[in-house]
């Protein structure tokens, strides 16, 4: 970031952790390997491993009864939930660093919430391109608007990139996650959620 010849800029994208958890659950098989890698990164960072309290966050009910390994049908959710907790901890570290960042970092770093991009695609695109020192071609503005205002929201194929009503996507977790899942995500990610105004 300090290298004058690079003029590097960082845009960090955040999304409501409840929506992230919902999306990750829908794509559980596709994200299983990635989730295991994320969990391994935490275990490398914590020589003694996570505490029992940390282990209980984001797990399906009854999963830790007597210290048993997760049942096969819950294994993917076990890894996805644990990975989300690690992701939220990393977000919190980043957010706290950004709050007390020196001027040279503040000029080169900005944050964007997915929900703000979906609600105001043109405004947020202009802000990001201005931050990067780039112009805003009208065709790009139209593209961003059209990609976030498609005919419907489809969650059947989460990695398919197509025009869809992204405004529905930001609230889909409210219909799909149980109250317990929402409480677990909020317990694991509460500090980061508070700093991000979720």
Round to whole Å and give the CA distance between 49 and 159.
Answer: 32
Higher-confidence position of 68 and 88:
88
Reported as a pLDDT band with limits 50, 70 and 90, residue 96 is very high
Summarised one tens digit per residue, pLDDT across range 125-173 is 999 999 999 998 989 988 888 888 877 655 555 556 667 777 787 888 9
Residue 28 exposed, middle or buried by CB count within 10 Å (0-12, 13-18, 19+): middle
> Contact, 191 vs 91, CB < 8 A?
no
pLDDT at 57: 46
Report the Cα 186 to chain-centroid distance in Å.
13
pTM score of the predicted model: 0.74
- CA pair distance 78, 58, nearest whole angstrom: 7
What is the pLDDT of the chain when averaged over all its residues? 79
Residue-level pLDDT at 41: 75
In the chain, where are the structural domains located? 12-196
Burial status of residue 146 (CB atoms within 10 A of its CB: 0-12, 13-18, 19 or more): exposed
DSSP 98-166: HHT--HHHHTTEEEEEHHHHHHSHHHHHHHHHHHHT----HHHHHHHHHHHB-S----SSTT-----BH
Give backbone dihedrals phi and psi of 121, rounded to 5 degrees, phi first. -60, -45
Instruction: Yes or no: say if 81 and 57 are a contact pair by the CB < 8 Å rule.
Output: yes
pLDDT digits (tens, 9 = 90+) for 149-159: 877 655 555 55
128-to-91, 124, 151 alpha-carbon distances in Å = 20, 6, 26
């Amino acid at each position: 970031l300090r290298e004058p010849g690079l003029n590097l800029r960082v845009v960090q994208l955040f999304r409501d952790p409840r929506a992230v958890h919902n999306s990750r659950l829908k794509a559980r098989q596709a994200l299983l390997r990635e989730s295991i890698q994320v969990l391994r990164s935490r275990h490398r960072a914590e020589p003694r491993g996570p505490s029992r309290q940390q282990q209980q966050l984001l797990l399906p009910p009854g999963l830790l009864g007597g210290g048993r390994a997760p049942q096969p049908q819950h294994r993917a959710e076990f890894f996805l939930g644990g990975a989300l907790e690690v992701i939220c901890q990393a977000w919190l570290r980043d957010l706290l660093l950004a709050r007390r960042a020196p001027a040279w970092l503040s000029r080169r770093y900005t944050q964007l919430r997915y929900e703000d991009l979906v609600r105001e695609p043109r405004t947020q695109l202009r802000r990001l391109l201005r931050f990067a020192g780039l112009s805003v071609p009208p065709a790009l503005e139209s593209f961003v608007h059209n990609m976030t205002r498609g005919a419907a929201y489809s969650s059947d194929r989460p990695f398919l990139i197509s025009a869809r009503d992204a405004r529905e996507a930001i609230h889909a977790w409210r219909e799909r996650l149980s109250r317990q899942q929402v409480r677990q995500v909020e317990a694991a990610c509460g500090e980061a959620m508070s700093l991000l105004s979720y």
